Amino acid sequence: MYVRTAKTSAIYVLAQNESNMDTEGEALADVAYGLFEILLNQHLKRGGHFLFELVESGEDFREEYNAAFASFEDDYPELSEALLTGYGTADAIYELFLSGEGVIPTKTTRIFWILQDAPGFEPGLANAEKAGKWLIFLDRDEVDEMWKKIRDATCEGRLGISAKVSTAKQNPESRDERMVIYVHTADWEDEDGVMEIREALRSLGVEQRIGYKRNIETFQGEYSEKGKKVTYYSA
C-alpha cells in the first residue's frame, strides 16, 4: 500500500486548504492540523490501523499518537508550533481526535475536508487534468453514514482513486448549504470505468441522480450557474 511521503503530504494539504485561508493565524494552525492528521494516519497504517478505525472502536492509541506527534515536532518545528498555538497541548489535540474531529464530517470543525485515498494512489504522480469526480450532495443528517460507507469502500480499493467529504467547518466558498462527498476517478475519458464506480456507489445507497465533473472545469473555475452545464456525466 502506498504511504504518502511527508513532502507530498504538505503540498497536498496546502493545496486542499490554501484557497480557504483567512488573514489571521488560524489558517496555518488548521493546515498544520490537516498535515499532522495525514502523518498520524501514515504512522498508524504502518502498524496496520487507520485513525478512523481506532477512533470508532474506542481503542486507546495514545502511545502511537505521542510517537507520531514527536516525529511531527522534529520534522516540522514551525508547523508544530503553529499547531500548539492554535490548539493547545498535544493531549488536547488527542482528545479532539477521540471526539471525532477529522473523522466524522458533522463533528469536524477545524478542517474543511476529510480525505481518504485508495491503496496505491499517489497524488504527486497522478495526471490531475485526466481525473474527475462524482459529486454526492447530502443533508447533514445523511452525510456521516454515507461517508463511512464510501470511505471504507475507498480504502478497500472498491471505488475510485480517492474520496473526500466536506465538514461542519463553515466554508466561505461553499455554493450549497448541503454537504458534499467527492469520489475521484483517474480518467474521465474511461467512461466504462467511471460508470462502474457509479454502479458501486448505487450499491452503497447512492440512488439519486448525481453528476460527474472533470477536473478541467474545476481548474478553470467553472461552477454550476443558471443555464450553464458543468457536469460531464449524469447518472
Q: What is the pLDDT of residues 29-58, one digit of tens each?
A: 888 988 999 899 889 988 889 999 999 999
Other beta carbons within 10 angstroms of residue 199's beta carbon come to 11
pLDDT value at position 223? 58
Find the length of the chain: 235
**All residues at 6 or more sequence positions from 223 whose CB lies less than 8 Å from its CB, including other chains:** 175, 230
Q: Domain 113-234 falls in which CATH fold?
A: RNA Cap, Translation Initiation Factor Eif4e (3.30.760)
pLDDT value at position 175? 72
pLDDT value at position 171? 79
Q: Which ranges in the chain are annotated with CATH 3.30.760.10?
A: 113-234
Collect the ranges in the chain with pLDDT lower than 70.
Answer: 1-26, 124-126, 219-229
Q: How many CA atoms within 13 Å lie on the side-chain side of 174?
A: 16
Tens digit of pLDDT for each residue in 104-126? 999 999 888 999 999 888 776 66
CB 75 within 8 Å of CB 42: no
Of 93, 95, 100, 133, nearest to 114 by C-alpha is 100
Q: Which residues of 100-110 are buried (b: 16+ CB within 10 A; e: fewer)?
A: bbbbbbbebeb
**All residues at 6 or more sequence positions from 31 whose CB lies less than 8 Å from its CB, including other chains:** 13, 14, 17, 18, 21, 79
Give the cell for residue 135.
459529486
pLDDT value at position 14? 47
